[in-house]
Amino acid sequence: MRLNGKRIFAAILALALVVCTFASCGDNAGEEEITRGANAIASPSTTRASATAGTTTTTAPATAAPTTTRSSSAGSNNNSGGNNNSGGNNNSGGMNTGDIAADSGASLELVASLINAFGYNYDPEEGVFYTEIDSWQRSANYIQHYDALAPLGNMRFQTTRVDFTTGGLDWRIQLWKGQYGVFGGAEIGIYNKVPGQTDELYYCVDDEHMMYMSYTMYLTPADYRSGNAYFTRDWQKHWWLTGFKVGTVTPAELVMSARIRTFNGSMATAMESGLQAAGFREGNATTQYDTYRRSGFDFYILWYQAGALNY
């Protein structure tokens, strides 16, 4: 792996700070992994006009699910990428750190460190902390060692990497879901590099290569079937779409319903091959786990078991 000194320092610094952030968080013992049969599952019906929703032809019988009271604006289906811009439309709503601590269930000290030192913001409607586009983590880029060492910082998650080459670049779209210290959370990161430039190092994409995406998280398959969402990160253009909510989760049980938009047909075709190599199959993507549905330049993904745990 050919890295210059600045990149090495940034990577080490980023990892050290992340570990320091969560090292003091309590362990969450007794997590269970579950296995799943091949039977189709029911699609949730919600009053949130979800950006991850889409009209599809059902490939297996499904039972209608009860609605949820969550509500939010939907992503647009035009190629401009919906009604949210690059920064997202959520903010702390004028809340101070004490209000956020009381609302989120996190300690005042942890809230202060997340917001002031680590560049996070807080969405009071969803109850989640999230990273801004210009967060300092962007300069640290991505190497697989982050995932391998994350358990030392009390971060245990499931992850899958969608790798493909298009437009003269190697791309990696990586998904994470799991326990981050005292938070249950999820991430979608967008990275690329020049082929042959490095072996393991991928660069966080620049503004020109950011992609529109969104996702909704469910704590268990039963929650997914009933439409009981844990939280949603709304449709927006980003390089690292994150959400962290105070609570204990089981990484292997979390379900992510995501939507990602590519730039053109060539990229969509390449990404489809990457999804298949990562363990996803073409399907309904609302009634079957670990499937995707391609619609123009957009991919609708229902992620459950593809990938691997880091612990």
**Annotated domain spans of the chain:** 5-24+102-256
**Average pLDDT over all residues of the chain:** 78
Q: Is pLDDT above 90 for 244?
A: yes
Q: In this predicted structure, which of 66-70, 192-196, 206-210, 235-239 has the lowest mean pLDDT?
A: 66-70
Q: How far apart are CA 196 and CA 309, in angstroms?
A: 28
Q: Give 293 or 106, the one with higher predicted confidence.
A: 293
Confidence tier at 95 by pLDDT (50, 70, 90) = confident
Residues 6-23, mean pLDDT to the nearest whole number = 44
Q: How far apart are CA 151 and CA 153, in angstroms?
A: 5
Confidence tier at 92 by pLDDT (50, 70, 90) = low
Q: In this predicted structure, which of 39-43, 149-153, 271-275 has the lowest mean pLDDT?
A: 39-43
Letter string b/e over residues 164-199, b meaning 16 or more CB atoms within 10 A of that residue's CB: bebeebbbbbbbbbbbbbbbbbbbbbbbbbeeeebe
Residues 4-17, mean pLDDT to the nearest whole number = 45
The predicted structure's pLDDT at residue 298: 98
Q: Give 33 or 211, the one with higher predicted confidence.
A: 211
Largest pairwise CA distance in the chain = 56
Using the structure block, give the residue that is written with the tokens 């005042």.
Answer: 108
- Predicted TM-score of the model (pTM): 0.74
The predicted structure's pLDDT at residue 93: 55
Q: How far apart are CA 216 and CA 225, in angstroms?
A: 13
Confidence tier at 108 by pLDDT (50, 70, 90) = confident
